[in-house]
Structure 1
Amino acid sequence: MGTKSFLTRARGLLRIRNQLVRECLAELLATFVMMTITLSSAAQKITFFETKGNLLTSYLGGALGVMAGIYVAGGISGAHMNPAFSLAICLIEQFPWWKFPIFVIVQTLGSFISAGAVYILYYDAIWHYSNGTLTAFGPRETASIFVTYPADYVSVANGFLDQVIGTGVLILVVMGLMDTRNKAVPKGLEPVVVALLVLSIECSMGANCGCPLNPARDIGPRLFICLAGWGLEVFSRGNGWWWVPLVAPLLGAAVGTSLYQLFVAFHYPEEDSEVLAEQGSIVLVNTTIEPDIGMSPKEKDTEETVPAGYPPPPCM
């Protein structure tokens, strides 16, 4: 009883009622969880397996990190964890544009903090493997634990196209998973299906440049390791590759969203548009997204608040 009373008092003191702040906190935590699992798997692949040949370890870590992040915050913020996905649902008018830059900053901050946590977690392993030198070049480089680089034979142009296609496929399929008029995913299993999707893309398109698919996943850790001792060479390696994971996934998200709309979503019967909007379909419809707090009928009696339009549709 004492513990319950303490938790009740703590909740009363710490509970945040502002919808935007709640969403940002949830998005920050989801991105942190996803990136911590993703970067930790990369750290093990490089510092322990040394041959860098055990790609499956890294790929599984990335996919399972996505699944964990969605389960952590999917019902609060939608668990975007990726500016490319946030852009995609802005384009289909399922997310307000004014929130887009806020979510991008939060996602980048979550990735930055996660890189710091993984650096601390694998501090001894990183310094042992690198022989005491933090570098982005050479056989003992450790920058690729945190960020992505193209293979030596891949040009910047080819890497850019790789990211446009990879992110386009990712967003296109996620559009189909979100569309209630398409093949429905059993409720509660959406994160598992998205994780399998990410794993399939990494296994089939990861060789060229590590398959970042996410601007926040790359720039947050890159900023951290630049400050933590690797220096500006983390930006110069790969012929100035750093800007590609920022720009190409956003373009790929726009391409994937457009393709799904043009080939699938635009062709549903018009008379079903209102029903689709209520069900959370990604068919492009003119709906008003309330940024403030709303009240559900269930919670009017308890005087607790929930975000308007809660819960959000299953997200990546």
Structure 2
Amino acid sequence: MTPFVGELVGTMLLIIFGGGVVAGVVLKESKAAAGGWIVITFGWGLGVAMGIYAVGQFSGAHLNPAVTLALASIGEFPWRDVPGYVLAQMLGAIVGASVVWLHYAPHWQATSDSDAKRAVFCTDPAIDRPLANLISEIIGTFVLVLGILAIGANRFTDGLNPLIVGLLVLAIGLSLGGTTGYAINPARDLGPRIAHALLPIPGKGSNQWRYAWIPVVGPLIGGLAGAQFYSHVFIGGDTLLPGLAIGGLALWLAWTVIGARRQAAALERDGCD
């Protein structure tokens, strides 16, 4: 198996498991209907692990353009191979989403909620705030890439690493996924979103293209940041970078608190008037 085919097949498996668990939970007349967030996050985590187990020996199982770009940015992956990997990941995601559509064929007509149907394929925010949503995707993917690199630096029993990465994805879903559905992977969101647009799904509604840039741009930024943080701080021993990051976060929090207090004061004045 070539690395291109490996990335395609691995990403396809990831989406079959991940999109499949969402379909089972949200589509009507499914035996897994209303299984809830815990079921979804476990499905995605195990799906990641299975994808890595399947193709890790052939391609390294990136299964995520944000991971591929992040590794290339720190010299862990050749830049010349990035376009081919990203193309394979996108194609695999489209194929995987199409398999989920086929598997749940009778349930699309039985489900009237177009938002639920779209959720099988791609993410959307719990509260629609573009900047906050972008930050959520950046943070989630930062943790993902930092975690993958940290896991790779440890010694585990042979064959255990993919399961640990799957548990990392589970933890991200449980802890950080409630805001945007934790795409943390441009191919995972954009590929199935394209499939949603192309497939003949009864009553499927909008593709929400206006939101589609966030689960692409956010993970790319977060992945690059996570890789650079790991390279400079964990490997290079740089203390300036985390200091600047903490200082920037403190300034942002102070600005947010001051802004909130001013807004509350303005509302109180308006109420008095």
- After TM superposition, the score normalised by the length of structure 2 is 0.81
Distance 1:267 1:157 in 2: 31
Distance 2:152 2:23 in 1: 33
Counterpart position of 2:160 = 189
Distance 2:64 2:151 in 1: 17
Distance 1:121 1:174 in 2: 31
Question: Please, which moves more after superposition, 69-78 or 50-59?
Answer: 50-59
User: Aligned partner of 1:23: which letter?
Assistant: P
Alpha-carbon offset, residue 156 of structure 1: 1.0
Structural RMSD (CA): 1.9
User: 1:112 and 2:112 equivalent?
Assistant: no
Counterpart position of 1:262 = 232
Is the CA contact (8 Å cut-off) linking 1:226 and 1:232 kept in structure 2? no
The within-5 A match list for 1:276-295 is none
SS in 1 for 2:57: coil
Counterpart position of 1:30 = 10
Distance 1:52 1:156 in 2: 28
1:214 paired residue among 172, 185, 209: 185
User: Aligned partner of 2:206: which letter?
Assistant: E
1:225 paired residue among 196, 213, 217: 196
Alpha-carbon offset, residue 126 of structure 1: 1.8
Alpha-carbon offset, residue 185 of structure 1: 2.4
User: Aligned partner of 2:4: which letter?
Assistant: C
Distance 1:50 1:90 in 2: 40
Counterpart position of 2:271 = none
Counterpart position of 1:175 = 149
Distance 1:264 1:50 in 2: 42
Is the CA contact (8 Å cut-off) linking 2:74 and 2:228 kept in structure 1? no
User: Identity over the aligned pairs, expressed in percent?
Assistant: 32
Alpha-carbon offset, residue 233 of structure 1: 2.1
Distance 2:33 2:101 in 1: 20
User: 1:149 and 2:124 equivalent?
Assistant: yes
Cα pair distance change 1:205/1:227, threshold 3 Å: same
Distance 1:185 1:159 in 2: 35
Is the CA contact (8 Å cut-off) linking 1:88 and 1:254 kept in structure 2? yes
Is the CA contact (8 Å cut-off) linking 2:137 and 2:182 kept in structure 1? yes
Alpha-carbon offset, residue 259 of structure 1: 1.1
SS in 2 for 1:241: coil
Alpha-carbon offset, residue 49 of structure 1: 7.2
The within-5 A match list for 1:12-91 is 22-47=2-27, 48=30, 52=34, 54-91=36-73
Alpha-carbon offset, residue 53 of structure 1: 6.2
Counterpart position of 1:289 = none
Alpha-carbon offset, residue 51 of structure 1: 7.4
1:189-211 deviations in whole A, cap 9, x for unaligned? 00011011110010001111101
Distance 1:51 1:40 in 2: 12
Cα pair distance change 1:50/1:30, threshold 3 Å: closer
Distance 2:61 2:32 in 1: 33
Counterpart position of 1:235 = 208
Distance 1:175 1:232 in 2: 39
1:3-36 deviations in whole A, cap 9, x for unaligned? xxxxxxxxxxxxx7xxxxx111111111111110
Cα pair distance change 1:92/1:119, threshold 3 Å: same
Alpha-carbon offset, residue 52 of structure 1: 4.8
User: Aligned partner of 1:35: which letter?
Assistant: I
Alpha-carbon offset, residue 232 of structure 1: 7.9
SS in 1 for 2:195: helix
The answer for unaligned runs of 5 or more in structure 2 is 239-273
User: Aligned partner of 1:165: which letter?
Assistant: I
Alpha-carbon offset, residue 123 of structure 1: 0.9
Counterpart position of 1:200 = 171
- After TM superposition, the score normalised by the length of structure 1 is 0.70
Question: Please, which moves more after superposition, 32-41 or 50-59?
Answer: 50-59
Cα pair distance change 1:125/1:211, threshold 3 Å: same
Across the two proteins, how many residue pairs are aligned to each other? 234
